[in-house]
């Protein structure tokens, strides 16, 4: 229904939405009312047409920003993966929770394996406060995760880079090398992303 509503910036009603989506008219009316109540749709008058609301427009803007972010960040994340020969992930929190937007897996399979679009909240547990230019290291039984913030000044809105080193390969030297590489990639992205 949101997609159909977005096709009618001048407004549409429950009958048209029901016809286009194949749902019952009363169900379309209830959903449109709920969308209005939550800000995803709006009406100028009580019986006027429904138009896309502020929250739907804001969501569209955030998704567009993600698309632009993805096209800029993907080659850098892939280069980071190639440089360190470990799995690298670009994590975004712009939608309100952390998600793996880009995942570039190493040629070796490790127990830490994520899919693009999945939540990154658990993967960041234990990272502490991610501020400025600092690389955070999370050391557990399976792996060492290095995390570098991309945004500066607003850690709650920051995009992040993460590299996962399997425990068997995590030497002091490898952690130091990956730390330098992830720091440089984060700095590069910081200069390119909005």
Domain ranges of the chain: 2-52, 64-192
Segment-wise mean pLDDT, segments of 10 residues, the chain, 194 residues:
87 92 92 91 90 83 70 90 92 72 77 73 74 80 89 62 90 95 91 76
Q: What pLDDT is stored for residue 170 in this prediction?
A: 92
Assign domain 2-52 to a CATH class: mainly alpha
CATH of domain 64-192: 3.30.450.40
Tens of pLDDT, residues 50-80: 999 888 887 777 666 666 778 888 899 999 9
> 165: buried, middle or exposed (CB in 10 Å: 19+, 13-18, 0-12)?
buried
């Amino acid at each position: 229904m949101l997609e159909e509503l977005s096709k009618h910036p001048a407004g549409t009603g429950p009958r048209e939405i029901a016809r286009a989506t194949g749902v019952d008219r009363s169900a379309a009316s209830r959903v449109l009312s709920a969308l209005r109540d939550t800000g995803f749709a709006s009406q100028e008058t009580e019986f006027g047409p429904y138009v896309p609301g502020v929250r739907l427009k804001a969501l569209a803007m955030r998704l567009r920003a993600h698309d632009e972010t993805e096209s800029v960040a993907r080659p850098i994340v892939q280069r980071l993966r190639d440089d360190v020969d470990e799995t690298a992930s670009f994590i975004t929190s712009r939608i309100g929770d952390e998600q793996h937007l880009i995942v570039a897996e190493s040629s070796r399979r490790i127990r830490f394996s994520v899919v693009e679009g999945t939540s990154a909240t658990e993967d960041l547990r234990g990272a502490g406060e991610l501020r400025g230019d600092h690389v955070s290291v999370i050391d557990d039984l399976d792996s060492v995760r290095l995390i570098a913030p991309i945004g500066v000044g607003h850690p709650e809105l920051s995009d992040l880079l993460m590299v996962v080193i399997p425990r068997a390969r995590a030497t002091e030297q490898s952690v130091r090398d990956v730390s330098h590489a992830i720091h440089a990639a984060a700095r590069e992205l910081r200069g390119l992303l909005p």
